[in-house]
Amino acid sequence: FKAVGVDGKEYSLTKTTNDAKATVVCFTCTRCPVPVAYEDRFIEFAEKYKEKGVKFVAINVNTSEDLEAMKQRAEEKGFSFPYTYDASGDSARAFGARVTPHLFLLDGSGELAYEGAFDDNMTSPTKFYLADAVDAVLDGKAPAVAKTRAIGCGIRPKRN
């Protein structure tokens, strides 16, 4: 992917995964109530796993949103991870992302290790799919659960 961050920097998959033990690519947005409900958990996760060499990047591809609204949201919430905008929508198509939030975990060699939901419940989770998958990858193992169904608002990228 190639995207512009709310910090004005350009991001790419290569730049994001460089020197990472694992990378989480999170397709999200500022308007859907599902990813908004997860924002605090994303922040907490990114902070916790940053110390372990895991990078977290959020990508917004919705044509109904803009970088200015994303900047405002990132400032309000204090995002500690790159929040980027891919106006082309190519990243969502390449990953196969369909909803927000839809998460993809790449291991240290850039191979897909997990795809799907952050956890099993927007308000009271009991299963922590992404954290469990990251822990397995950091331990050099394949995640016990490699794919779950991501639930959220449909992604609306630019049409080619």
Distance CA 2, CA 87 (A): 9
Q: Cβ neighbours of residue 63 under 8 Å, at least 6 residues apart?
A: 87, 89, 156, 157, 158
Report angle CA 141, 110, 85 to the nearest 5 degrees: 125
Least confident of 29-33, 63-67, 154-158: 154-158
What single DSSP character describes residue 18?
A: T
Percent of the chain with pLDDT over 90: 88
Distance CA 6, CA 147 (A): 29
Burial class (CB in 10 A: 0-12, 13-18, 19+), 71: middle
| Of 13 and 130, the one with more pLDDT | 130
In this structure, the dihedral spanned by the alpha carbons of residues 26, 29, 30 and 31, taken in order and rounded to 10 degrees, is -140
Render pLDDT for 10-24 as a digit per residue (tens, 0 to 9): 999 888 788 899 999
Render pLDDT for 95-113 as a digit per residue (tens, 0 to 9): 999 999 999 999 999 999 9
Are 102 and 90 in contact, with CB atoms under 8 Å apart? no
